[in-house]
């Protein structure tokens, strides 16, 4: 995370560039800044949430045969 933030903050001079070639520097800096910021947020918030979701689904699917067997036993009795 620290390297991501260092990279993002290192792009600030490109985003606020003035002078000769500023338009090109701003365009490249803004695109890279936004992409890196989005990738960092994705890594911090979305990926752990997806991990929890898939782990929960995995546990429920693992318990499914036991639930079905229990349901059959209660219907037979």
Dump pLDDT digits (tens) for 18-58. 988 899 999 999 999 999 999 999 999 999 999 999 999 99
pLDDT bin (cut points 50, 70, 90) of residue 71 is confident
pLDDT-wise least confident of 9-18, 55-64, 67-76: 67-76
Which residues have C-beta within 8 Å of that of residue 33, sequence separation ≥ 6?
8, 11, 12, 14, 15
Q: Which two tokens stand for residue 62?
A: 């693992």
Task: Give the model's pLDDT for residue 77.
Answer: 58
Angle between helix 22-41 and 2-10 (nearest 10): 160
């Amino acid at each position: 995370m620290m390297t991501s933030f260092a990279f993002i903050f290192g792009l600030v001079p490109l985003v606020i560039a003035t002078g000769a070639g500023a338009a090109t520097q701003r365009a490249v800096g803004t695109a890279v800044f936004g992409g890196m910021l989005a990738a960092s947020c994705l890594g911090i918030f979305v990926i752990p949430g997806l991990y929890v979701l898939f782990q929960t689904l995995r546990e429920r699917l693992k318990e499914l045969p036991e639930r079905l067997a229990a349901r059959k036993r209660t219907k037979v009795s």
